[in-house]
Amino acid sequence: MPTIKLVAERAATGRVREIYEEIKAVLGTDFVPVNFRAAAHNPDHLEAYWRQYKTIMEGGQVAKPIKEIIAMVVSALNNCAA
């Protein structure tokens, strides 16, 4: 159970809703992962976190699929749900 209250997709408005829609489109999912919903209480923080995430996943010498696998394994080890 999360210790930080998450911003549900149905409760998101304005900029947060726009960022949520972009997250789902870029990730190719029908949900916003928990880490982003936890950051959404502050739209500036969410936007900065999302920008950083995209930069990390797209840049560097490690291929994106490898980074995605690493993220999935870390999430599983931390008992994270969606």
Tens of pLDDT, residue by residue over 23-66, are: 999 999 999 998 999 999 999 999 999 999 999 998 889 998 99
- CATH code of the domain in which 26 resides: 1.20.1290.10
How many domains does the chain divide into?
1
Residues 50 and 19: beta-carbon distance below 8 Å: yes
Residue 48 located in a structural domain: yes
Residue 58 located in a structural domain: yes
The residue-averaged pLDDT of 5-29 equals 96
The pair of structure tokens assigned to 66 is 């490898």
Q: How confident is the model at residue 1 (pLDDT cuts 50, 70, 90)?
A: low
Residue 16 located in a structural domain: yes
Report the distance separating Cα 27 and Cα 1, nearest Å: 24
Q: Which domain holds residue 34?
A: 9-77
pTM above 0.85, yes or no: no
Helix 43-58 to helix 64-77 angle (10° resolution) is: 130
Closest CA to 19 of 58, 51, 47: 47
Residue 82 located in a structural domain: no
